[in-house]
Amino acid sequence: MTLLDGREVRKKLLDDLKNKLDKLDRRLGLTVIQIGSSDSSNIYVKQKEKLAIELGYKFNCIKLDDDVLEDDVLSLIDELNDDCNVDGILIQLPIPDNLDSRKVLDRISSKKDVDGLTCINAGRLICNKECLIPGTALGIMDIFSYYNIDVSGKHIVIVGRSDLVGKPMFSILSNTNATVTLCHSKTKNLESITSKADILIVAVGVAKLITKDMVKKECVIIDAGINVVNGKLCGDVDYDNVVDIVSYITPVPYGVGQVTTVELLYNVYRAYELNKKD
């Protein structure tokens, strides 16, 4: 069994990114819009800020009250779209229910959409065109690449159909010649499907959903879940009982979570490159 160590992939990505940033003649700008201020949003924004500052980005977090008017959010996004000092824009999710999150996200210029959540970027991804891709999906692909895991021709089962992981993973992997099955909360007989997978990617946020009897011997497991059970971090996979039968697995922590934020900040550079082409 080989552990897919996210820290190693993170290090490589950071080295690559810093090399690229060193060659630029200006600092890149990332603006986060945070609406309301739940504890978890505060934590996630802090993580991004910390790494952004380490990379020398101009980081700005605009905090809005959770009763902000949708039109005011849209106007703010318009301003940021037009601001040439802002390379990447990100809305910290979730946002309050009184706002139409799809409408708000789609207002972001597709070339500044560093979370890869606009419909345009989702469409360009499934059409196999150059675009910005959600960080977690990129991170998983970079883990495969770092450990020379070839996805072409493999049967890959994804559990979870989120816009951030499941759907973009489906698009990338189908376009990379994998045979992909997308499972979700309405899937019947989940184990009969997961147990056929050469590679199993799980991103649902249900602790230890995937047990030993649900995985094939020698399969590869990517666990993108982050859950807290009894004060301890764990993934969507019952790691301790699965680890002995798989060929590769990402641990939680120190797996996928290690690369997600780096990919997001790498996306600011990719957004800069996309905008330069115009």
Q: How far is CA 227 from the centre of its chain?
A: 16
**Of residues 111-140, which lie at the interface with a second copy (CB under 8 A)?**
118-127, 129
- Closest to a second copy by CB, 105 vs 237, is 105
User: Residue 60: beta bridge partners?
Assistant: 31
Q: How far apart are CA 265 and CA 257, in angstroms?
A: 14
Q: How far apart are CA 167 and CA 162, in angstroms?
A: 6
Site string for a second copy, 7-26 (x = CB under 8 A): --------------------
Q: Quote the least distance from Cβ 95 to a second copy, whole Å.
A: 16
- Closest to a second copy by CB, 51 vs 200, is 200
Give CA angle at 277 (272, 278), nearest 5°: 105
Q: Quote the least distance from Cβ 36 to a second copy, whole Å.
A: 23
Q: Quote the least distance from Cβ 119 to a second copy, whole Å.
A: 4
Cβ(198)–Cβ(173) below 8 Å:
no
- Closest to a second copy by CB, 10 vs 124, is 124
- Closest to a second copy by CB, 52 vs 105, is 105
Cβ(149)–Cβ(219) below 8 Å:
no
Task: Find the binder of a second copy among 184, 211, 232, 273 (CB under 8 A).
Answer: 184
Q: Which of 87, 113, 115, 198 is catalytic?
A: 115
Which of 270, 271, 268, 263 has its CA nearest to residue 14?
263
The three-class DSSP label of residue 222 is strand
- Residue 75 exposure: Cα atoms within 13 Å on the Cβ side: 6
Q: How far apart are CA 20 and CA 166, in angstroms?
A: 29
In the block, tokens 């505060």 appear at 42
Q: Per CB under 8 A, does 153 bind a second copy?
A: yes
Q: Per CB under 8 A, does 169 bind a second copy?
A: no
Q: How far apart are CA 86 and CA 27, in angstroms?
A: 10
Q: How far apart are CA 168 and CA 15, in angstroms?
A: 25
Q: What is each CA distance from 252 to 149, 159, 169, 208, in whole angstroms? A: 19, 17, 19, 11
Q: Per CB under 8 A, does 150 bind a second copy?
A: no
**Of residues 186-215, which lie at the interface with a second copy (CB under 8 A)?**
186-188, 192-193, 196
Residue 92 annotated among the catalytic residues of the structure: yes
Number of residues that bind a second copy (CB under 8 A): 34
Task: Find the binder of a second copy among 171, 250, 261, 267 (CB under 8 A).
Answer: 171
Site string for a second copy, 43-82 (x = CB under 8 A): ----------------------------------------
Task: Catalog residues that contact a second copy under the rule CB under 8 A.
Answer: 102, 118-127, 129, 152-153, 155, 161, 163, 167, 170-171, 174, 177, 179-184, 186-188, 192-193, 196
Active centre residues (catalytic): 48, 92, 115
